């Protein structure tokens, strides 16, 4: 067996199952398979080996599901791929092959079903990796921060449940003014390069990652700058996104036979970790830019989000939106929620009218990191927070944002019932960074670290 060409990537993980992405390599006409075997950490006996056929339809990749796992348990696993001379192999006959597994040993931890336990997460976005003639230019610049993230994950207490990658995991349009990538194979090559760098590869093989796209997975400010002929670009970009980012998320339905469906109805999704729940929105692909019904979320998604906010019993509700919910940017703010004030106000009024507590919006995009709070002039019970983390690796072509980049000196919105007033709750960080969130019974501690792992700032959000 050979080491995966991309992966393994641990995706959606629950108390009893985990999804792991693995890519091999095409072997002319020979069938190609991937395999994962696993056991509880500290045990010698392998519990099971799962195999999957790899085809060109998924760029020689597949998501293998490990099922019937025990809650709050650490497992170790090995992953690899191989080809055979026989096209007639079944999943049962593959079990009989004398395979020599790659030496690398990885670990995953299932979720705990205990509600009172503290949880921890990483958040990051905007990881720039320039490609020149199909080859990454100085890839270590976009990879080194993951060495620091992985080191912190190994030391973290409580253990880190997952990393939320909130957009711009790749830049399809990194050479937009010269020769932007538009072809399917070019975009696939970007994903292979971005996800196979040594530090991010090692990290994603040991910690669950949840991803959502933003504009640079397609084109800058998509769809505002959409031109004639861009439908082909969109289809190519979305097909690649489904393979490398959506496939291991909860977007794809888990079938009775242990495989996952390949027909997602949408790209937004939810997942639960004890008494903490996440709603990861798709704030990019379903926008309506018409003047009479501007929407950053489509009708179905807005309804699902509101119903989840109102009816979910979760103690803490975190809403991921790849673009800023608030505060608004002075320049190009209309690409974020500032350009969709009616829909944003409906969400805020839903939260306020139902007296919902501990709602946190998590975002990226702006090449700066910050925490901020929104209150209401006439309703002392209303309070909403944002946590923003960006970028993991900036391009020298783009400036970092600073405090002066945002509108902070006037209300976010006004209604007959009062004003929504915003304020920063910490400094704006203008350098490469990632966020480490620790959620316990009383607070969310937001720790921002630089690319070398040094603590830059720590802010507490008190839970109510």
Give the pLDDT band of residue 111 (cuts 50, 70, 90). very high
Percentage of residues in the chain having pLDDT higher than 70 = 97
219 C-beta neighbours (distance < 10 Å), count: 22
pLDDT value at residue 200: 97
pLDDT > 80? residue 136: no
pLDDT value at residue 97: 85
**Best CATH choice for the domain 6-109 from the list 1.10.1240.10, 2.60.40.10, 2.40.30.10, 2.40.128.30:** 2.60.40.10
pLDDT value at residue 131: 67
> Using omega within 30 degrees of 0 as the cis cutoff, is the peptide bond preceding 223 cis?
yes
For residue 151, the surrounding DSSP H or E stretch is helix 140-155
The torsion region of residue 189 among left (phi > 0), alpha (psi -120 to 50) and beta comes to alpha
Summary mean pLDDT of the chain = 93
What would the pLDDT profile of 4-58 be if each residue is shown by its tens digit?
999 999 999 999 999 999 999 988 888 999 999 999 999 999 988 999 999 999 9
pLDDT value at residue 229: 83
pLDDT > 90? residue 262: no
What would the pLDDT profile of 139-170 be if each residue is shown by its tens digit?
788 899 999 999 999 999 999 999 999 999 99
Q: Which whole number is the average pLDDT over 353-358?
A: 97
* Portions of the chain given CATH number 2.60.40.10: 6-109
pLDDT value at residue 132: 64
pLDDT value at residue 175: 60
Cα–Cα distance measured from residue 451 to residue 32, given in angstroms and rounded to the nearest whole number: 38
pLDDT value at residue 263: 83
Task: Please check whether residue 277 is in contact with residue 271, taking contact to mean a CB–CB distance below 8 angstroms.
Answer: yes
Distance of CA 347 to the CA centre of its chain: 22
Task: Please check whether residue 85 is in contact with residue 29, taking contact to mean a CB–CB distance below 8 angstroms.
Answer: no
> In this structure, what are the phi and psi dihedrals at residue 388, rounded to the nearest 5 degrees?
-120, 130
Query: Domain 119-462 has what CATH class?
Result: alpha beta
pLDDT > 90? residue 248: yes
Q: Which whole number is the average pLDDT over 227-253?
A: 94
Q: Which whole number is the average pLDDT over 328-354?
A: 95
Q: Which whole number is the average pLDDT over 409-433?
A: 96
pLDDT > 90? residue 244: yes
pLDDT > 70? residue 190: yes
What do you get for the CA distance between the two ends of the chain, in Å? Answer: 52
What would the pLDDT profile of 369-402 be if each residue is shown by its tens digit?
999 999 999 999 999 999 999 999 998 778 999 9
* Portions of the chain given CATH number 3.60.21.70: 119-462
Mean pLDDT is lowest, of 93-102, 417-426, 441-450, for 93-102
Cα–Cα distance measured from residue 110 to residue 43, given in angstroms and rounded to the nearest whole number: 16
pLDDT > 90? residue 404: yes
pLDDT value at residue 28: 84
Mean pLDDT is lowest, of 123-132, 294-303, 309-318, for 123-132
241's CB contacts (< 8 A; 6+ apart) are 213, 217
Q: Which whole number is the average pLDDT over 309-327?
A: 97
Q: Which whole number is the average pLDDT over 343-347?
A: 97
pLDDT value at residue 173: 81
Give the pLDDT band of residue 138 (cuts 50, 70, 90). confident
Give the pLDDT band of residue 181 (cuts 50, 70, 90). low
pLDDT value at residue 160: 97
Cα–Cα distance measured from residue 214 to residue 412, given in angstroms and rounded to the nearest whole number: 23
Give the pLDDT band of residue 94 (cuts 50, 70, 90). confident
pLDDT value at residue 24: 97
pLDDT > 60? residue 177: no
Who has greater pLDDT, 261 or 111?
111
HSE, CB side, 13 Å, CA atoms: give it for residue 402. Answer: 2
pLDDT value at residue 396: 79
Mean pLDDT is lowest, of 11-20, 25-34, 74-83, 239-248, for 25-34
pLDDT value at residue 106: 97
Task: Please check whether residue 106 is in contact with residue 205, taking contact to mean a CB–CB distance below 8 angstroms.
Answer: yes
Percentage of residues in the chain having pLDDT higher than 90 = 82
pLDDT value at residue 93: 82
Give the pLDDT band of residue 446 (cuts 50, 70, 90). very high
């Amino acid at each position: 067996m050979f080491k995966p060409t991309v992966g393994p990537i641990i995706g959606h993980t629950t108390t009893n199952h985990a999804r792991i992405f693995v890519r091999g390599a095409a072997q002319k006409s020979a069938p190609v398979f991937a395999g994962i075997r696993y056991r509880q950490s500290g045990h010698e006996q392998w519990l099971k080996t799962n195999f999957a056929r790899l085809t060109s339809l998924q760029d020689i990749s597949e998501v293998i599901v490990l099922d019937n796992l025990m809650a709050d348990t650490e497992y170790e696993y090995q992953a690899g791929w191989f080809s055979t001379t026989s096209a007639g192999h079944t999943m049962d006959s593959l079990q009989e092959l004398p395979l020599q597994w790659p030496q690398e040993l990885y670990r995953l931890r299932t979720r705990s079903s205990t509600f009172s336990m503290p949880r921890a997460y990483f958040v990051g976005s905007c990881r720039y990796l320039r490609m020149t003639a199909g080859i990454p230019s100085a890839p270590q610049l976009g990879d080194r921060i993951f060495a620091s993230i992985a080191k912190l994950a190994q030391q973290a207490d409580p253990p880190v449940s997952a990393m939320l990658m909130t957009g711009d995991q790749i830049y399809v349009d990194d050479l937009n003014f010269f020769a932007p990538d538009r072809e399917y194979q070019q975009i696939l090559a970007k994903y292979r390069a971005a996800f196979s760098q040594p530090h991010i590869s090692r990290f994603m093989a040991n910690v669950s990652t949840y991803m959502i796209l933003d504009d640079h997975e397609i084109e800058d400010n998509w769809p505002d700058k959409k031109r004639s002929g861009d439908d082909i670009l969109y289809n190519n970009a979305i097909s690649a996104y489904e393979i490398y980012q959506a496939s291991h998320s909860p977007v794809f339905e888990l079938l009775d036979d242990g495989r996952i469906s390949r027909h997602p109805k949408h790209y937004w999704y939810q997942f639960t970790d004890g008494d903490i729940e996440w709603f990861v929105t798709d704030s990019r692909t379903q926008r309506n830019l018409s003047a009479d019904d501007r929407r950053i979320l489509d009708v179905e998604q807005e309804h699902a989000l509101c119903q989840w906010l109102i009816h979910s019993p979760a103690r803490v509700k975190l809403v991921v939106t790849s673009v800023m919910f608030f505060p608004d940017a002075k320049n190009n703010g209309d690409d974020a929620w500032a350009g969709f004030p009616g829909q944003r106000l409906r969400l805020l009024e839903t939260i306020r009218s139902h007296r919902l507590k501990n709602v946190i919006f998590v975002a990226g995009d702006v090449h700066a990191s910050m925490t901020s709070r929104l209150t209401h002039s006439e309703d002392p019970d209303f309070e909403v927070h944002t946590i923003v983390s960006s970028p993991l690796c900036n391009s020298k072509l783009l400036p970092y944002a600073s405090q002066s980049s945002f509108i902070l000196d006037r209300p976010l919105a006004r209604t007959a019932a009062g004003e929504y007033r915003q304020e920063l709750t910490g400094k704006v960080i203008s350098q490469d960074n990632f966020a480490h969130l620790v959620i316990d019974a009383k607070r969310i501690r937001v720790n921002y670290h630089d690319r070398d792992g040094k603590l830059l700032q720590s802010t507490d959000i008190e839970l109510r």
